[in-house]
């Protein structure tokens, strides 16, 4: 089977998360949905931290997280070493987040993005490989200990 994706949202991202889950399944990917499973209110950092930990631990290669704007969940997810959460608002930012930054978590806004656009963003993000090369050294510098090792 194809690699699994961990997927999560808060209440503001629930509707888009459900659409993205269907898209992932249509693509033949296994999906672990860590919630929410209804539109009940939840604190977005809790979901973002759970998803980021699943990626940081190596259980999942990639994750997709949704809140109202994508901003809050991206900030929370990026607190975890090894997580490179990118907020994408169009296909170009999705492509560059993978090609240049090797983003392993995609953050999207359920209330700030047209849902059809969000699905196209997801497709581009999944289909774009990391370019490596000069970008690999820069990505390695993202972790604080790496910067000290390069100096």
pLDDT of residue 117: 98
Residue 102 · residue 84 · CB < 8 Å: yes
pLDDT of residue 143: 84
Q: Which strands, in side-by-side order, build the sheet including 105-109?
A: 31-33, 5-9, 62-67, 105-109, 85-87
Active site residues per annotation: 67, 100
Q: Which residues form the domain of 10? A: 5-150
pTM of the full predicted structure?
0.93
pLDDT of residue 148: 47
Instruction: Determine the angle formed by the axes of helices 115-127 and 14-26, rounding to 10 degrees.
Output: 40
Total domains, the chain: 1
- Please tell me what DSSP assigns to residue 130: P
pLDDT of residue 128: 98
pLDDT digits (tens), the chain, 151 positions: 357 999 999 999 999 999 999 999 999 999 999 999 999 999 999 999 999 999 999 999 999 999 999 999 999 999 999 999 999 999 999 999 999 999 999 999 999 999 999 999 999 999 999 999 999 999 998 887 755 455 5
Q: What is the SS3 string spanning the chain?
A: CCCCEEEEECHHHHHHHHHHHHHHHHCCCCEEECCCCCCCCCCHHHHHHHHHHHHHCCCCCEEEEEECCCHHHHHHHCCCCCCCEEECCCHHHHHHHHHCCCCCEEEEECCCCCHHHHHHHHHHHHHCCCCCCHHHHHHHCCCHHHHHHHC
- CATH code for the domain in which residue 88 is found: 3.40.1400.10
Q: What angle do CA 24, 72, 92 make, to 5 degrees?
A: 55
């Amino acid at each position: 089977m194809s690699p699994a994706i961990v997927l999560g949202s808060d209440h503001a991202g629930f509707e888009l998360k459900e659409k993205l889950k269907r898209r992932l399944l249509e693509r033949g990917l296994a999906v672990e949905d860590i919630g929410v499973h209804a539109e009940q209110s939840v604190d977005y950092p809790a979901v973002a931290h759970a998803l980021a930990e699943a990626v940081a631990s190596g259980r999942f290669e990639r994750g997709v997280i949704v809140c109202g704007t994508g901003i809050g969940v991206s900030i929370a997810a990026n607190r975890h070493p090894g997580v490179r959460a990118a907020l994408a608002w169009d296909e170009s930012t999705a492509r560059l987040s993978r090609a240049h930054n090797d983003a392993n978590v995609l953050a999207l806004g359920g209330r700030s993005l047209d849902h059809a656009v969000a699905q196209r963003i997801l497709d581009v993000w999944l289909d774009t490989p990391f370019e490596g090369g000069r970008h690999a050294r820069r990505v390695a510098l993202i972790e604080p200990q790496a910067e000290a090792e390069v100096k």
